[in-house]
Chain A
Amino acid sequence: QQQVKQSPQSLIVQKGGISIINCAYENTAFDYFPWYQQFPGKGPALLIAIRPDVSEKKEGRFTISFNKSAKQFSLHIMDSQPGDSATYFCAASNPGAGSYQLTFGKGTKLSVIP
């Protein structure tokens, strides 16, 4: 049972455009939602994360939007650059209950073309 569904599977965006990746979760006990960026041959790098008590969090060009009632959250990358080309994973966990197990989506391969 996939508890975190991520879409789209792949995304092509023009340089300077906005990249949007969506995730939906099923387990209402989740209370921590990070996004990771992974380049080929590398481990995932923590990009930005949000807790359910806020609806939006922004760090530089990256913004997470969170909709608790819909059990959905999304990553927006503003002014996308070719260097942003990577695979992005959403994840969820319930550390408040002592569980640090991250449940990941299947990933979105982002290509930013000049």
Chain B
Amino acid sequence: DAGVTQSPTHLIKTRGQQVTLRCSPISGHKSVSWYQQVLGQGPQFIFQYYEKEERGRGNFPDRFSARQFPNYSSELNVNALLLGDSALYLCASNWAQGSYEQYFGPGTRLTVT
């Protein structure tokens, strides 16, 4: 079975631009979470979605938004990119609100110049 997939793998954007990152959860998983991992740090929680509804939001500015589609895939959008947004963006999926284990994808490496 395929794990969590993310696209693109790498992305280079210019300050002020907008970016969309995509995630497909493990088949059968209905919940998706997004994390930002700055080099040398642990991942930081951005959003969690379950059944297309936002169920949790971390301490990130409104420039960050996300949505989940009927097939449970998800997109993370970041507007007005700043240099500090350069990071590895990770998507994690879990089966449902009642399951505890979260499985991460390989991430999208975003570089803002």
Contact = CB atoms under 8 A, between A and B. Distances in A.
Task: Give the secondary structure class of A's interface.
Answer: strand
Contacts of B105: 43
B106 A100 contact: no
A44 interface: yes
Interface in B70-97: 90, 92, 94, 97
A49 B92 CA distance: 16
Given A43-B106, A45-B104, A46-B101, A104 B58 contact: no
Chain A interface size, under 10 / 10 to 19 / 20 to 34 / 35 or more: 20 to 34
A46 B42 contact: no
B41 A107 contact: yes
Given A43-B90, A89-B42, A101 B56 contact: yes
Interface residues of B, number: 27
Contacts of B92: 102
Contact of A100 (B33, B44, B90, B107): B33
A42 interface: yes
26 contacts: A34-B101, A41-B106, A42-B107, A43-B105, A43-B106, A44-B43, A44-B90, A89-B42, A89-B43, A91-B42, A93-B100, A100-B31, A100-B48, A100-B55, A100-B97, A100-B102, A101-B33, A102-B35, A102-B43, A102-B45, A102-B92, A103-B45, A104-B43, A105-B42, A106-B42, A107-B42
